[in-house]
Amino acid sequence: GALLALNKPPGLPILGHPGDLSLDALLPALRRRLGLSAELHVVKAPAREYSGLVLLSSCYHTTKKLQQFFTNARQRGQYPATYRAVTVGVPTEVEGEICTGLCWQQQGDRAMVRGCLWAGGTGDTPGSAEGCDLQVVPVPAPGRRSLARKDVKITLTRYRVLSTVGGCALLQLQPRTAFPEQLQVHLTLLLCPALGDHEHASHVGRVLGVPFFLNPGTTATCTQVLDEELLSQLGLSPQQIHHLPLHIHLQELVLP
């Protein structure tokens, strides 16, 4: 019918500046190639850094109906979106939930920042704060005032370990809430950052092989550090790690 599903590669933004490569800029060419008379709209899409399902619609009313469905489903406690992630490290528990407050914080400063718009999100899909010099940090025990002012948002992700090998794991992730970089931050709280996460992996340190969480406010962001055995399995040299994409993939969407 009016729906079309694509498989987006990591690094492709949904929206972009005029002249930049983005999914939105490619839609007119896709419409012509498919011989569609109506314009295509983005119903649901993963954030720029993620790969996976992009749901498009050639009917405006279908687009709005489905976007409202995704929002209502989360409010009812359902999980309409399922992601897969490859993690460096294996969670202690086979399955569980990560629940924490998240907020934007200025890099190099512990003061929270309000009112910064982030680009790249579509519908209820979070985007990123590229160019805002901000980072997303966890707030384990937010106060009532910060929640009321919406400085902090309570976020929840359900996870399950599907398989493990060589100190890495394949996880199923189902976010109940939508916040930029939610899945990356939640994985670091599990002490198992996503493979290719060069933004948040540095917040997990190790002493004698035991992982622990580092305060993002005092930890500089750097390229993910991988051990020699994993680099060998990936066929990468240390100089190539920064090219490694984020291994978080939007696997499945449930439609009404």
Separation CA 89–CA 166 (nearest Å): 9
- 135: helix, strand or coil: strand
pTM reported for the whole predicted model = 0.86
pLDDT one digit per residue (tens) for the chain, 256 residues: 899 999 999 999 999 888 899 999 999 999 999 999 899 999 999 999 999 999 999 999 999 999 999 999 988 988 999 999 999 999 999 999 999 999 988 765 444 444 333 333 444 454 444 445 788 988 888 888 888 888 899 999 999 999 999 899 999 999 999 999 999 999 999 999 999 999 998 888 888 778 878 887 777 788 888 889 899 989 999 889 999 999 999 999 999 8
Separation CA 182–CA 154 (nearest Å): 10
Separation CA 51–CA 46 (nearest Å): 7
The CA dihedral of 96, 101, 104, 109, to the nearest 10 degrees, is -110
Instruction: Report the candidate in 217, 214, 108 with the shortest Cα–Cα distance to residue 225.
Output: 214
Q: Which two tokens stand for residue 151?
A: 């400085």
Instruction: Report the candidate in 221, 211, 137 with the shortest Cα–Cα distance to residue 180.
Output: 137
Q: How many CB atoms lie within 10 A of CB 91?
A: 19
Domain boundaries, the chain: 1-255
- Burial of 151 per CB tally in 10 Å (0-12, 13-18, 19+): middle
Contact 179, 126 (CB under 8 A): yes
Task: Specify the pLDDT at position 128.
Answer: 47
- 243: helix, strand or coil: helix
Domain 1-255 fold: Pseudouridine synthase (3.30.2350)
Chain center to CA of 62 = 25
Contact 180, 92 (CB under 8 A): no
- Distant-in-sequence, close-in-space partners of 237: CB < 8 Å, separation ≥ 6: 231
Contact 193, 224 (CB under 8 A): yes
DSSP per-residue string spanning 142-210? --HHHHHTTSSEEEEEEEEEEEEETTEEEEEEEESS--TTHHHHHHHHTT-PBTT-TTTGGGEEEETTE
DSSP per-residue string spanning 20-69? S--HHHHHHHHHHHHT-SSPPEEEE---TT-EEEEEEES-HHHHHHHHHH
Task: Specify the pLDDT at position 108.
Answer: 55
Task: Specify the pLDDT at position 142.
Answer: 86
